[in-house]
A and B are shown apart, each in its own frame.
Chain A
């Protein structure tokens, strides 16, 4: 390559320091032939082309190319030549010396030289470090096997293409942008791809839970297997990679493993040279390091505590650097980043802060039919963040509003519909915009209802949202046009709009009944899916709707739905009752209230061993051990399990206890074996999750010592059989049961009990006890389903027993065996020096 001064500044191996004649110009040496290094050089050349003599050192044996475009190369959409930014002619035209395929190994700041792997020693006046970042390799066994690669440079792409040519399976570790792009490319190249992602949400740094769920669904529809919440334990294989084993024991065969779990700034050179290095190489506003003659730019730097991994901030840095080096001080002020990308042909955009919180309001638009999710985060009438999925056309506009900090108060109501709508025709009042719609305009896309039809339906007496939904069906499906229908109600009726039934919570315009019906009708399978398809107004729901949705899904999909622990109240998550001091009480199950010396000894031992301050007999005929710390719960349960006892579910919206009297076995008035019946009922019903707590009692005669007539389900034995009572409870509003019917045999009592519980499980609203439920629907309705409809009762009973086979699995035993240990153990303990003695 031509050298400006007629001197080869690139020494040959073993030559030692090359002594140059006093150069006419200062020598700028750039370590890194990547996007940042070359862009910085371009910016410098553009400002003052003759100022520096420039040498660029590159580790790869190639000219400068666009690393971001490796994905299209992998996918077969582009060739290497297409993604070259600066070809050999550029280096020649600008008299730049390119030393490629020979990485810099050391910087000697005293001598102002750089030494390369091949032994070249190059002197500099100004040094620019643009080493970028290194892929992070997770330290698992097998990480060094042939066939385990990262996705960082052209060599990686070549390896992937060679593997894909052989067909077979690939595993991509990491469900971030890079990992998903690798997975997409490998899928297009014909490999069977599994993506393993540690977090529960794909691309969790760019997307919120809802958008991540949409992305996961779409990728699965394209044939990829996506495992979220999956932790890699080891990479398998002897001579080359053969598969991946997860911490949960699953093994996935693969002939190629791509690690794309993240990058870290490549700072080793700078650190060894004694430059200030934090997370990245520390630079000032002009990208100058702690040595005034050494600069750094790109992914390897840390500016004002921030490290950047996207291309836009990098361009900003290069401008500031070039301004500084050519004495036009502007200074880098940090960058607000946005991400707009296409993953497997799916549009995704995010910008700013979308973690929500104090003073932030979320404006959410979900259009399930078109697969669109938009969320704009607003604080003090300023856009501070946005997440878009499916339709990212307005991403640039939101990003612009965000960067300029523009007051969006005036267009707030229309903000979410995008720039065209918000700016359109000066119709700044949403009501005016609705009024301006023609009668033919479609209001509800799901049910094909026009504005005219909605208005006429309102005129005919549908004076509430619910009434409109019931009559013309507008907004009755996905609910995304609820706002429009409400505007039409307000326009047509003025103040006469009737408030509808209570919605589930502030996150939705739907009622509990609506949500349940749609979960079943649309076969929804996860909480994010429900929130998306029913247009939830908050991204993750709240502490009211999450537990309700979790229950509805659990009830609708026995054996299939994976219980979401994060949507459980503390008692159901910790399988014990939290007390006011943060300790827990533990109630082991005693079937029908019966116990024996072995159980009593085990309980007594636990009380002593864990120093429980109180033991109490409960109203449901159990023993309650108080004052157990959450860390001790698994050990307590292990001790109780060892004596044959399981969880008493005294903490759950579930079957609590079956209370009994001693019945015909001992009592001189007893008519039937109420104790035995109680035990059998409890064995049938324990472990089932319900809308609310559920208590049962069986009394051996009408004296009713077990108080069966204030229970959710009560049996009162009589000479001729069993009276079955439903819908009672104690509590604030005591309600005595309604008599359901009388049956002749114990088996019938059990069958009717199972059917009644299932009817309650399927139809009551979450947190509605049987008492208000029976009062609401009427005992006659319950009779019509349980007593008068034999086939229906059998079906209900069958569904209950089917569900029970998955529920009767002692949660205490699983915890005692180590499941969810993080819920119990402290992550660490802080012992300040003055306390360690």
Chain B
């Protein structure tokens, strides 16, 4: 998986209280992959591509338990920390570096925004 430097530009995506505990919300990206932002019961925040490595199910709609989300389509368990499928299943979904500062959520821009189309370059 791509490693991102933690020193890039941070995108402010709004206050933490937009996501109730134990739930997730979605963040569509023009020209990129939709992101799911999770707020776990023990008050951690994680951002992942909103698609299961199995059949691209929307992970944002799964049940969150601990730091794991269960995909709503076929019950794959995905680690919110690493994006890796747990148990017998194999696969990985991209994670997006996230930080919480002064009650707001920030995502690393380089991980959110797709690289400019090659044709334009």
Task: Verify that A and B bind, or say they do not.
Answer: yes
Say yes or no: A830 contacts B113, CB within 8 Å.
yes
Say yes or no: A198 contacts B28, CB within 8 Å.
no
Say yes or no: A827 contacts B26, CB within 8 Å.
yes
Which secondary structure dominates chain B's binding surface?
loop
- From B27, B70, B77, give the contact of A829 (CB < 8 A): B27
Q: Tell me whether A328 is interfacial, beta carbon within 8 Å.
A: no
Q: Closest B residue to A567 by CB, please name it.
A: B63
Q: Mark contacts of B66-91 with chain A using CB atoms, 8 A cut-off: 1 yes-contact digit, 0 otherwise.
A: 11101011010101111010100000
Say yes or no: A829 contacts B72, CB within 8 Å.
no
Say yes or no: B114 contacts A543, CB within 8 Å.
no
Task: Write the nearest CB–CB distance from A376 to chain B, whole angstroms.
Answer: 15
Interface positions, chain A 780-837, Cβ under 8 Å from B, are 822-823, 825-832, 834-836
Candidate in B56, B57, B66, B81 with the most chain A CB atoms within 10 angstroms = B66
* A834 to B42 CA separation, bound complex (whole angstroms): 37
Say yes or no: B21 contacts A539, CB within 8 Å.
no
Given A356-B66, A578-B72, A580-B55, A830:B27 Cβ within 8 A: yes
* A827 to B39 CA separation, bound complex (whole angstroms): 13
Q: Which residues from chain A contact B62 at a C-beta distance below 8 Å?
A: 543, 570
Say yes or no: A355 contacts B116, CB within 8 Å.
no
Q: Tell me whether A675 is interfacial, beta carbon within 8 Å.
A: no
Say yes or no: A199 contacts B30, CB within 8 Å.
no
Say yes or no: B61 contacts A204, CB within 8 Å.
no
Q: Tell me whether A315 is interfacial, beta carbon within 8 Å.
A: no
Say yes or no: B18 contacts A538, CB within 8 Å.
no
Given A547-B63, A582-B57, A829-B27, A569:B72 Cβ within 8 A: yes
* A830 to B42 CA separation, bound complex (whole angstroms): 27
Task: Write the nearest CB–CB distance from B91 to chain A, whole angstroms.
Answer: 14
Q: Closest B residue to A582 by CB, please name it.
A: B58
* A630 to B18 CA separation, bound complex (whole angstroms): 17
* A547 to B63 CA separation, bound complex (whole angstroms): 9
* A358 to B120 CA separation, bound complex (whole angstroms): 40
Q: Which residues from chain B contact A832 at a C-beta distance below 8 Å?
A: 29-32, 113-114
Say yes or no: A570 contacts B102, CB within 8 Å.
no
Interface positions, chain A 163-213, Cβ under 8 Å from B, are 198-201, 204-205, 208-209
Say yes or no: B61 contacts A574, CB within 8 Å.
yes
Q: Mark contacts of B36-76 with chain A using CB atoms, 8 A cut-off: 1 yes-contact digit, 0 otherwise.
A: 01001111100000000001111001111111101011010
Q: Tell me whether A134 is interfacial, beta carbon within 8 Å.
A: no
Q: Tell me whether B8 is interfacial, beta carbon within 8 Å.
A: no
CB-based A-B contact count at 8 angstroms: 149
Q: Closest B residue to A547 by CB, please name it.
A: B63
- From B40, B63, B79, give the contact of A543 (CB < 8 A): B63
Say yes or no: A538 contacts B72, CB within 8 Å.
no
* A834 to B118 CA separation, bound complex (whole angstroms): 12
* A208 to B42 CA separation, bound complex (whole angstroms): 6
Q: Tell me whether A240 is interfacial, beta carbon within 8 Å.
A: no
* A743 to B13 CA separation, bound complex (whole angstroms): 63
Say yes or no: B63 contacts A569, CB within 8 Å.
yes
* A469 to B117 CA separation, bound complex (whole angstroms): 66
Q: Tell me whether A231 is interfacial, beta carbon within 8 Å.
A: yes
Given A357-B81, A834-B120, A827:B63 Cβ within 8 A: no
Given A204-B42, A827-B14, A279:B101 Cβ within 8 A: yes
Task: Write the nearest CB–CB distance from A551 to chain B, whole angstroms.
Answer: 14
- From B28, B30, B65, B101, give the contact of A538 (CB < 8 A): B65
Say yes or no: A279 contacts B77, CB within 8 Å.
no
Say yes or no: A826 contacts B63, CB within 8 Å.
no
- From B43, B44, B58, B72, give the contact of A201 (CB < 8 A): B43
Q: Mark contacts of A565-601 with chain B using CB atoms, 8 A cut-off: 1 yes-contact digit, 0 otherwise.
A: 1111111011000101010000000000000000000
Task: Write the nearest CB–CB distance from B8 to chain A, whole angstroms.
Answer: 14
Say yes or no: A830 contacts B28, CB within 8 Å.
yes
Say yes or no: B65 contacts A540, CB within 8 Å.
yes
Task: Write the nearest CB–CB distance from A825 to chain B, whole angstroms.
Answer: 8
Say yes or no: B27 contacts A826, CB within 8 Å.
yes
Q: Tell me whether A541 is interfacial, beta carbon within 8 Å.
A: yes
Add 10 more A-B contacts to A538-B65, A582-B58, A830-B112 (CB < 8 A): A198-B17, A200-B22, A208-B42, A231-B17, A357-B68, A546-B63, A565-B23, A570-B63, A830-B35, A830-B113
- A-B pairs with lowest CB-CB distance, top 8: A543-B70, A357-B67, A566-B22, A570-B72, A835-B30, A827-B25, A570-B61, A357-B81
Residues of A in contact with B (beta carbons under 8 Å apart): 198-201, 204-205, 208-209, 229, 231, 264, 279, 354-358, 538-543, 546-547, 565-571, 573-574, 578, 580, 582, 630, 822-823, 825-832, 834-836
28 A-B residue pairs with Cβ-Cβ distance under 8 Å, sorted by A, are A200-B41, A201-B21, A208-B41, A229-B20, A264-B102, A279-B101, A355-B44, A357-B66, A357-B79, A357-B80, A539-B42, A540-B65, A542-B65, A543-B70, A566-B41, A566-B64, A573-B61, A578-B72, A822-B18, A825-B25, A826-B27, A827-B25, A830-B32, A830-B35, A832-B31, A832-B114, A835-B30, A835-B31
